[in-house]
Amino acid sequence: MSADAPSILSPRVIIPFVLTGTIWGSTWFVITGQIDGVPAAWSVFYRFVLACPALFLVALFMKRRLKLTAPEHRLAVLVGLFQFSGNFLFVYNAELYVTSGIVAMMFALLMVPNAIFARIFIGEKVQGGFLLGSAVAIVGVSFLLWHEWQSNPDAGVIGGNVGLGIGLAMLGILAASVANVIQANPTGRAVPMVSLLAYAMLYGTVFDLGFAWVTAGPPPFPTSASYWGGIVYLALIGSVVTFPLHYNLVREIGAGRTAYNSILTISVAMLLSTLLEDYRWTALTMLGMALAVVGMVLALKARRQKAVQVQESAKLRH
């Protein structure tokens, strides 16, 4: 962030800040329409087969280099497998069992495994304030998950339970976190982020195609206009349009302050779950939401800018 960075309330900052947080918050609910009668694996593939060429066009428009070295391509393969395959496949399937807003709230804790993996693999230190804030946020999300579990009459039945959805969401979080950390190595830092993610999405899309065909059979072609509208929204609005807006914010106000729009994201996601998925608030869930937000604020305030940068590639995931 430059010394003459604009105020966060200036139009060139607040407009993209609100737009990105609101759009990403809405994508969690839109995903529910992609798994209604259509195998999740095929919906993931359709999303990225549309988003991938658009992301390459963004890289060209931004005049980023698209010629990668062999080590950079290998890194893109790994990021693609973890970020654009494992992460999304787990998330889409998790939403078969858990309210979309709750899955979004769980992903707000992505900063925790990010920090742990960054400490293990690249030696990045974690501050005490971050640990305290993360602990508070985890307690808050645990309250929300407990309510979700208790409100599901089939919680103990595999194949129709919240427990399975929570497990899938946690695997998605771990996959996204691995992708975030490995792209922050020296090889990843040498590649323009948009170029690395474009190739990672390409490799992930190829894997998604094979996985979908093996596990779900030949591709279905839904006739619903709302389904394909959701695909377009997730691919272009939820990924490609918001991507340059987000990274412009990082340049304008810094990665640390930009990371606060994750709070807006989960607020929008929970609002949509309340309005459209009949999510019922109780004293426990309201306390859980409050603790989660307060904990996130404490954790984000404690983080060094370098630590926050590890999260940046994850913003393309929803």
The two structure tokens encoding residue 78: 């790994």
Residue 2 pLDDT grade (very low, low, confident, very high; cuts 50, 70, 90): very low
Are 297 and 130 within 8 A, CB to CB?
no
Average of per-residue pLDDT values in the chain: 82
Identify the pLDDT of residue 229.
95
- Lowest mean pLDDT across 107-111, 257-261, 267-271, 281-285: 257-261
Residue 123 pLDDT grade (very low, low, confident, very high; cuts 50, 70, 90): low
The two structure tokens encoding residue 92: 């889409």
- CA–CA dist 221, 46 (Å, integer): 10
What CA–CA distances, in Å, run from 198 to 12, 56, 94, 313? 26, 6, 25, 11
Identify the pLDDT of residue 68.
92
- CA–CA dist 100, 26 (Å, integer): 10
Angle subtended by helix axes 283-302 and 261-276, to nearest 10: 160
Entry pTM? 0.83
Taking the CA of residue 258 as centre, how many other CA atoms within 13 Å lie in the half-sphere pointing to its CB?
A: 31
- How far separated are the first and last CA of the chain, in Å rounded? 25
Strand, coil or helix: what is 181?
Answer: helix
Segment 202-211, tens digit of pLDDT:
999 999 999 9
Identify the pLDDT of residue 253.
67
Segment 99-121, tens digit of pLDDT:
888 888 888 888 788 777 777 76
Identify the pLDDT of residue 170.
92
The two structure tokens encoding residue 113: 């495994």
The domain ranges of the chain are 11-316
Are 250 and 258 within 8 A, CB to CB?
yes
Please say if the pLDDT value at position 85 is more than 60: yes
- CA–CA dist 41, 64 (Å, integer): 31
Segment 220-252, tens digit of pLDDT:
999 999 999 999 999 999 888 887 777 667 667
The two structure tokens encoding residue 247: 């990274």
* Average pLDDT for 194-209: 94
Segment 145-179, tens digit of pLDDT:
887 777 765 544 444 578 888 899 999 989 988 88
* Average pLDDT for 267-291: 87
Are 208 and 44 within 8 A, CB to CB?
yes
pLDDT greater at residue 208 or residue 135: 208
Identify the pLDDT of residue 91.
93
Task: Identify residue 38 by its one-letter amino acid code.
Answer: V
